[in-house]
């Protein structure tokens, strides 16, 4: 099971970067994580064993990650 430990910053504007600290199942090589803002896919900047960095999509509305 994957657990989100922290989202930094807790809010952002479209085009801003969000850092997601996580733990749980290890990412399989060459598999990109899907991060959605409501139903809109975020642009993945980087992903590691404990941190994912994404860019908030322009179409994103307020709501949960």
- Could you tell me if residue 43 is inside a domain? yes
Q: How many CB atoms lie within 10 A of CB 18?
A: 20
Query: What is the reported pLDDT for 8?
Result: 96
Give the pLDDT confidence score for residue 27 in this predicted structure: 64
**Does a structural domain hold residue 65?**
no
Q: What is the pTM of this model?
A: 0.81
Give a yes or no: residue 60 inside a domain: no
Boundaries of domain holding 8 = 3-55
pLDDT in tens, 3-23: 999 999 998 999 999 999 999
Max distance between CA atoms of the chain, in angstroms, equals 32
Say if 62 falls within a structural domain. no
- Could you tell me if residue 8 is inside a domain? yes
What total of structural domains would you count in the chain?
Answer: 1
């Amino acid at each position: 099971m994957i657990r989100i430990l922290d989202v930094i910053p807790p809010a952002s504007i479209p085009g801003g970067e969000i850092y997601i600290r996580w733990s749980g199942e290890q990412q399989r090589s060459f598999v990109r994580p899907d991060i959605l803002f409501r139903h809109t896919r975020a642009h993945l900047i980087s992903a590691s064993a404990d941190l994912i960095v994404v860019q908030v999509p322009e179409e994103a509305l307020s709501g949960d990650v």
